[in-house]
């Protein structure tokens, strides 16, 4: 879905305040929020909103716990025009105590209000001033595949350190990709190490005195060894830096262009392979009848050298994307049933409205909204249809009521006075659960 306005809300804190170094809205690997206008419902207590989109994890923006816990807290982007956001990437501030445990992403629909498309929960702190790259934050960096390797390959340290005892054995990464842009780094290379890339057709083990399983041994692979770059069993590029003269070998794979570039300690050696197509995997083996070792970083820890703009870590499904289906949701200071989301609400000023309804609209009406979703608490939480009643906090007078969406559980009350507090009561449609209430809700101003 393409939309001009996007919003993060529903933050659940693990400690006190909320502090983030970066919030990136993505389409594929392309960051979309750089030129967007970013606003927040509450002023930060440290740092600026600009720090959230400056591509600098050393700067951050911090909000008070009280502000984040309020019913109307949000970060909102005006993209200027409709764009499709399918990924979300976060970078942490300086403290684990200020890292969120959950949040929700929504876009604005003129017909439906705020439509929630993704929830993230159980987010793990990635480290101070570091991009989140753990699986719980939506990123699954690749590693070497223990089920796709030759018998002469030994893996350790989370399947990132590989040892190959002969050029007849190699190992392929868990994930490959036929599109988008990727970056990873190899270090601790021994003299006979041969890192590279390969298709799914490249063998990881052969028993032949003529042909090996090393990267570049055939038309299905490409590999760096000593001063040369191999493909089809031949050195196709010579004069590259030798192992021992550099510490980090960077792979810059652009599957949109079908090219691979190599960096030696951050120095670009240029395109070493082109015309790449189909699924491409990381590949490693020995370039000789000797033991070779290498450590790979596919993005599970910070890189030594910053990837080019638009490149993501590792290979395969590594985008920081909070899944739309199967996600759990926890909402702070709202409903035990985890309320979030939106849905159209009947207008109480339509023809035939009761006088009591009109009077309440005059007394409690305004330019703000209260929204949510109704869910049955579990693992994961399950959206459910429920009757939701909005009441004035002090007087307990009924102000609005609606049914939440039976599929998403989403609901919304619009046209509410932002200067008053309200409570919301959710009643299970089937009557299997007791009503759940959230009190002292502060409506947020409509976009």
CATH of the domain at 391: 2.60.40
Pairing of strands 422-428, 259-264: unpaired
d(Cα 72, Cα 417) in Å, to the nearest integer? 12
pLDDT at 300: 72
Whether the predicted pLDDT of 403 surpasses 80? yes
pLDDT at 19: 96
Residues 171 and 309 in one domain: yes
d(Cα 183, Cα 169) in Å, to the nearest integer? 24
415 inside domain: yes
Summarize pLDDT for 159-205 with one digit per residue, the tens: 999 999 999 999 999 888 888 889 999 999 999 999 999 999 999 99
Summarize pLDDT for 282-321 with one digit per residue, the tens: 999 999 999 999 999 988 778 999 899 888 777 865 444 4
Summarize pLDDT for 102-122 with one digit per residue, the tens: 788 888 887 767 777 766 666
168: domain CATH number? Answer: 2.60.120.920
Q: Which of 167-181, 232-246, 428-442 has the highest mean pLDDT?
A: 232-246
Residues 195 and 62 in one domain: no
Whether the predicted pLDDT of 433 surpasses 60? yes
Residues 154 and 278 in one domain: yes
In this prediction, residue 405 has a pLDDT band, given cuts at 50, 70 and 90, of: confident
Whether the predicted pLDDT of 38 surpasses 70? yes
> Torsions phi, psi of 230, nearest 5?
-105, 145
Residues 264 and 403 in one domain: no
Full residue range of the structural domain in which residue 113 is found? 2-137
Contact 315, 182 (CB under 8 A): yes
Residues 133 and 260 in one domain: no
271 inside domain: yes
Query: How many residues are given for the chain?
Result: 447
Contact 338, 375 (CB under 8 A): yes
Residues 148 and 133 in one domain: no
pLDDT at 133: 58
d(Cα 293, Cα 14) in Å, to the nearest integer? 40
pLDDT at 140: 54
347 inside domain: no
Q: Report residue 225 as tokens.
A: 């060894």
Q: What is the DSSP letter of 306?
A: P
Domain limit, last residue, from 102, 137, 172? 137
In this prediction, residue 210 has a pLDDT band, given cuts at 50, 70 and 90, of: low
Residues 383 and 421 in one domain: yes
Q: What is the DSSP letter of 364?
A: H
Local structure of 12: helix, strand or coil:
strand
Residues 80 and 150 in one domain: no
Give 77 or 387, the one with higher predicted confidence: 77
333 inside domain: no
Whether the predicted pLDDT of 446 surpasses 70? no
Sequence-ordered list of residues with C-beta below 8 angstroms from that of 135, at least 6 positions apart, any chain: none
Whether the predicted pLDDT of 31 surpasses 90? no
Give 135 or 235, the one with higher predicted confidence: 235
The overall pTM is greater than 0.85: no
Q: How many domains does the chain have?
A: 3
Whether the predicted pLDDT of 24 surpasses 50? yes
d(Cα 235, Cα 239) in Å, to the nearest integer? 10
Residues 76 and 225 in one domain: no
The pLDDT of 36-40, averaged and rounded, is: 95
pLDDT at 71: 63
Residues 287 and 303 in one domain: yes
In this prediction, residue 146 has a pLDDT band, given cuts at 50, 70 and 90, of: very high
320 inside domain: no
Whether the predicted pLDDT of 327 surpasses 80? no
pLDDT at 191: 96
279 inside domain: yes
pLDDT at 244: 94
- CA distance readout (Å), 113 to 46, 116, 180, 410: 31, 10, 32, 10
Largest CA distance in the chain: 93
Give 407 or 99, the one with higher predicted confidence: 99
pLDDT at 349: 27
Residues 123 and 152 in one domain: no
Residues 302 and 275 in one domain: yes
d(Cα 293, Cα 129) in Å, to the nearest integer? 31
pLDDT at 88: 80
Whether the predicted pLDDT of 138 surpasses 60? no
Domain limit, last residue, from 91, 110, 137? 137
Whether the predicted pLDDT of 273 surpasses 80? yes
336 inside domain: no
- The mean predicted confidence, pLDDT, of the chain is 81
The pLDDT of 9-13, averaged and rounded, is: 82
Left, alpha or beta for 418 (phi > 0: left; psi -120 to 50: alpha)?
Answer: alpha
Domain limit, last residue, from 137, 161, 195? 137
Residue 73 CB: number of other CB atoms within 10 A? 22
406 inside domain: yes
In this prediction, residue 62 has a pLDDT band, given cuts at 50, 70 and 90, of: very high
């Amino acid at each position: 879905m393409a939309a001009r306005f996007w919003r993060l809300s529903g933050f659940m804190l693990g400690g006190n305040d909320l502090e983030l170094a970066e919030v990136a809205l993505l389409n594929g690997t392309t960051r979309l929020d750089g030129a967007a206008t970013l606003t927040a419902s509450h002023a930060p207590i440290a740092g600026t909103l600009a720090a959230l989109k400056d591509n600098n994890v050393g700067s951050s923006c911090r909000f008070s716990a009280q502000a984040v816990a309020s019913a109307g807290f949000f970060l909102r982007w005006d993209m200027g025009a409709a764009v499709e956001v399918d990924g979300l990437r976060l970078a942490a501030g300086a403290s684990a105590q200020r890292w969120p445990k959950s949040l929700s992403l929504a876009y604005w629909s003129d017909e439906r209000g705020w439509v929630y498309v993704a929830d993230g929960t159980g987010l793990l702190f990635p480290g101070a001033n570091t991009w989140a790259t753990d699986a719980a934050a939506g990123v699954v960096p690749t590693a070497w595949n223990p089920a796709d390797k030759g018998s002469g390959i030994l893996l350790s340290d989370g399947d990132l350190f590989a040892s190959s005892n002969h050029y007849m054995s190699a190992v392929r990464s868990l994930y490959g990709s036929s599109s988008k842009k990727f970056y990873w780094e190899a270090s601790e290379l021994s003299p006979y190490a041969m890192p590279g890339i390969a298709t799914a057709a490249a063998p990881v083990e052969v028993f032949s005195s003529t042909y090996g399983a090393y990267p570049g041994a055939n038309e299905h692979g490409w590999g760096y060894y000593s001063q040369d770059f191999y493909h089809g069993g031949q050195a196709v590029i010579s004069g590259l830096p030798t192992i021992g003269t550099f510490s980090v070998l960077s792979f810059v794979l652009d599957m949109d262009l079908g090219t691979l570039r190599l960096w030696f300690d951050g120095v670009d050696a240029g395109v070493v392979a082109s015309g790449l197509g189909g699924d491409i995997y990381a590949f490693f083996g020995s370039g000789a009848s000797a033991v070779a070792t290498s450590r790979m970083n596919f993005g599970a820890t910070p890189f030594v050298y910053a990837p080019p703009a638009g490149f993501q870590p590792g290979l395969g499904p590594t985008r920081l994307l909070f899944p739309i289906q199967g996600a759990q949701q926890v909402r702070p200071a709202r409903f035990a049933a985890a309320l979030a989301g939106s849905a159209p609400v009947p207008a109480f000023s339509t023809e035939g409205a009761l006088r009591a309804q009109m009077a309440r609209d005059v007394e409690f009406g305004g330019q703000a909204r209260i929204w949510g979703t109704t869910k049955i608490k579990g693992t994961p939480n399950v959206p459910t249809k429920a009757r939701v009643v909005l009441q004035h906090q002090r007087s307990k007078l009924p102000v609005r009521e609606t049914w939440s969406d039976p599929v998403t559980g989403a609901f919304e009350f619009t046209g509410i006075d932002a200067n008053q507090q309200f409570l919301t009561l959710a009643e299970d449609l089937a009557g299997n659960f007791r009503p759940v209430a959230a009190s002292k809700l502060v409506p947020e101003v409509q976009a």
